[in-house]
Every structure is written in structure tokens, then in C-alpha cells.
Amino acid sequence: MTTAAKRIEIQSQKRLGALMRAHFLDLDEASRDPSRRVAWCTSVGPCEILTAMGFDVYFPENHGALLGARRVSHELIPRAVGAGYSAESCSYMTSDIGSTLAGVSPLTDAFGIAGPPKPDLLVYSTNQCREVQDWWNFYGRRDGIPVMGICPPGHLGEVTSEHVAFVSGRMQRMIEEIENKFALRMDYDRLSEVVALSSRASALWGSVLDTAKARPAAMTFFDGAIHMAPVILMRGSQTAIDYYKSLLTELSQRVENGIGAIPDERFRVYWDGMPIWPKVRELAEKFYDLRTVVAASTYCNSWAFDEFDGGDPLDWMARSSIELFINRDENTKQRFLAQMFDRFEIDGAIFHNARTCPNNTNSRFGMPQRIRAELDMPSLVIDGDLSDVRFFSTAQTMTNIEAFVEQLEERQR
């Protein structure tokens, strides 16, 4: 069964394209301007410290996603394998390293620049995975660039004040290392300002995602995967805040007027795990045709933090960075999922078993079975990958999704 109604595009997307272009052109300029410094940072790393100290910040995971979305990862990964990086390890990392070794980047086609900006400093946090440490160290070793990292306690149940103090202390030490290395001084008022901007954008992003609570949902996970770019790449800037204010206005208008991302929505499902970037469009179309909205996801919510309400900015950064879903134990993750299922009135959950990202895959330790048994939530596990298309079978997956939606239909009868 396919839906006859026409999809109404989110108008803000046009503005997003211009923002992304300006962002990457500016980064490119920064890397060629001797008076500016570029730092690479992990997507949920301590980027506010870098911004407050005057660095232009670049996020390589976005490049990994772009390589996946442009369907070139599988051609580049063999270059990284040749350099000793397993094809079974993070395909963001291997495709990014492969792209550097091959001297090609989708940023050239997209924005007319040679590739990612050359870094002066590489900063990571292993709050998401250890792979980022190895990824950054590849560039550190190869190009002699300083690498600094924070290794917070992982897989936490309760997050205690001791955990926060430990991470905040590590951040303080990192600030001192940067001060010494680059002859800089941290302005802590500026840090508070950047954290306030960053958390404001995050909170607005959370409100944007919440518009999918409406019936019909104003946006889908696939829209979210596109519109999340500013909350990652432009965190700590007024630009990100302005963008989400206008996106929120547009989506709230949709809610008010009863306009859905999928006009004749029948079912609402949850997506857990990484997007399958090379197949985002095909999957979005499949769910559209099945009149099933992917209303919420763990992934898009990873950047929806609580707002900073004053106090020590490092404490806010430390707490946000370790309270992340990916950094929690199974019981905490299950409680979070249960809450999301309730808030978004979810009918079924899809788990993406991403071959090269065990860290952001939650189907490997009985979660789908537990939510079925304890929450009566139907679930489906899809085998695939975030970037490497070789681990994904389109025919098999589409058949499984159709069968899953039929199962939801059965339950409704």
C-alpha cells in the first residue's frame, strides 16, 4: 500500500544548505589563515572549551557520515585497511582515513574546497567510544599534531557528583595543556557564554524533536538526521540558535495546522542506533510508503542536552558528556527507551545492528527481547552499517520492514 498524499518539504532545509556552505568555507579559510587555529573535536567532545579559546572547530564524524551518504565509503575503506585499520572497525574512521590517503573528499563537490581543514590540535572524548582515540591518533602520528583527550568513566548507571568532578578535573587539565601549548589564556566568562549558547541550541533542538510527538508527527527521524547538523557543527554559536528558532516555528505551525511529515500516518516507530547513511533516502521512502513515521530516535536525541542555568560551565559540560545515552549501562538505556516509547506513543522499535559500531548498537545484549517481554513493544533488528554499504542488504531489509509493519497491523486488529 502506498500513500497518495504528497510530501510537504520542510522549508528551512533551503536555509540549512546555505548555512552549511558558509560554515565549511569559513573553516577552509581558517585553515589557510596563519592568524587562526583549527581544532578537530569529537561530536560530543568538549568543543565549548575550544571555541572559548578561539579555535575554529571541525567535527570529523560529520565527514564520515558524508562519505557514507555519498556512497563512497566502501571505495575508500580499503585504503585504511592497507594502513592497518580493520574493515570491521568504525567505518566513519576507516572511510575518513581512506579519504585522506586517497586525497579525495565529498567536501570538494559539495562546497568547492579541497577537503577537511588542516588541524592545529586534535581533541577527543571517549564518552562515545575508544575508536575516536585511535582515529585522532592516526592524524596525530602522521602529521605531528598534538592530540589531547578525555577518558571519562563509561557504561554508567547513576551519574554521581564524583563522576562529574573527575571529568570536570580532566577538562581543567586539558585547558591548562592547551594554554601551555599555544600560549593562550582561558577566559572563563567567555566559556560560560559559549556553554550558554551551546546549551540553548541543544534545548531548542530537543523542542524541535518534540514536534514529532504530535499526531501526525511534524517530522521524522530522517528529517532529524539532516537538521541536526547545526547542533553538532555550530554548537556554541548564535547561528545554531537562530536556525533552530526558525525551524521550531515552522514545525510548530505544522503541528497547529495538523500537517504531518507523513500525511496519513498509521504507525509510529522508534529508531535505535546509527542512521544507515547510504540508504537514508530509500529507507525514508519505504516508511513513507508504509505510512509509518519513524517518530523518535536515540541518535537524534544524543545532542538534546538540558539547558545550562549558571554555575560552573565545566560541571555542565562534564555532566552532559557522561549522561549521554551511549555512555550508560543497559538498565539506564532501557529506562530511557521506555520513556521515549511513552512520550512519542510508539507502536514498535527498530534496532540498527551497525556492523562497525558496536558502541552505538543496542541489540546485542538482549534489549529487543527485554522490551518485548517487559514493555510489550514489538521490535525488529536490522543488520547494516552507518557508512559501509557492503554490510547492508536492501532487499532483505525492506522485506523485513514490510513484515514488521504487517505485524503492527495485526496487533491493531
For position 357 contacting ligand SF4 by CB under 6 A, the verdict is yes
Bridge partners of 39?
A: 57, 121
Whichever of 47 and 129 has its CB closer to ligand SF4, that residue is: 129
Cell numbers given for 130: 575508544
Least Å from the CB of residue 357 to ligand SF4: 3
Residue pair 288/400 in contact by the 8 Å Cβ criterion = no
Report the C-alpha gap between 290 and 160 in whole angstroms.
44
Single residue of 129, 167, 231, 377 touching ligand SF4 by CB under 6 A: 129
Nearest to residue 354, comparing CAs of 298, 408, 403, 305? 298
Nearest to residue 64, comparing CAs of 232, 296, 285, 315? 232
Residue pair 360/299 in contact by the 8 Å Cβ criterion = yes
For position 359 contacting ligand SF4 by CB under 6 A, the verdict is yes
Q: Write each residue from 371 to 410 as x if it is in contact with ligand SF4 (CB under 6 A), else as -, in one continuous string.
A: ---------------x------------------------
Single residue of 94, 198, 360, 379 touching ligand SF4 by CB under 6 A: 360
Total binding residues for ligand SF4 by CB under 6 A? Answer: 13
For position 120 contacting ligand SF4 by CB under 6 A, the verdict is no
Single residue of 28, 48, 61, 347 touching ligand SF4 by CB under 6 A: 61
Whichever of 28 and 61 has its CB closer to ligand SF4, that residue is: 61
Bridge partners of 296?
A: 270
Contact window for ligand SF4 (CB under 6 A) among 50-58, 125-133, 187-195, 316-324: 125-133
Is 187 strand, coil or helix?
coil
Report the C-alpha gap between 359 and 92 in whole angstroms.
13
Whichever of 12 and 298 has its CB closer to ligand SF4, that residue is: 298
For position 196 contacting ligand SF4 by CB under 6 A, the verdict is no
For position 327 contacting ligand SF4 by CB under 6 A, the verdict is no
How many other C-beta atoms can be found within 10 angstroms of the C-beta atom of residue 364? 11
Single residue of 24, 92, 277, 288 touching ligand SF4 by CB under 6 A: 92
Answer positive or negative: Cα dihedral of 242, 15, 386, 151. negative
Single residue of 28, 48, 120, 131 touching ligand SF4 by CB under 6 A: 131
Single residue of 27, 39, 44, 90 touching ligand SF4 by CB under 6 A: 90
Report the C-alpha gap between 307 and 201 in whole angstroms.
9
Least Å from the CB of residue 354 to ligand SF4: 7
Whichever of 105 and 298 has its CB closer to ligand SF4, that residue is: 298
Cell numbers given for 201: 541550541
Location of C-alpha cell 568532578: 165
Is 296 strand, coil or helix?
strand
Report the C-alpha gap between 282 and 71 in whole angstroms.
13
Contact window for ligand SF4 (CB under 6 A) among 76-84, 124-132, 214-222, 286-294: 124-132
Q: Which residues are near ligand SF4 by CB under 6 A?
A: 61, 90, 92-93, 128-129, 131-132, 274, 357, 359-360, 386
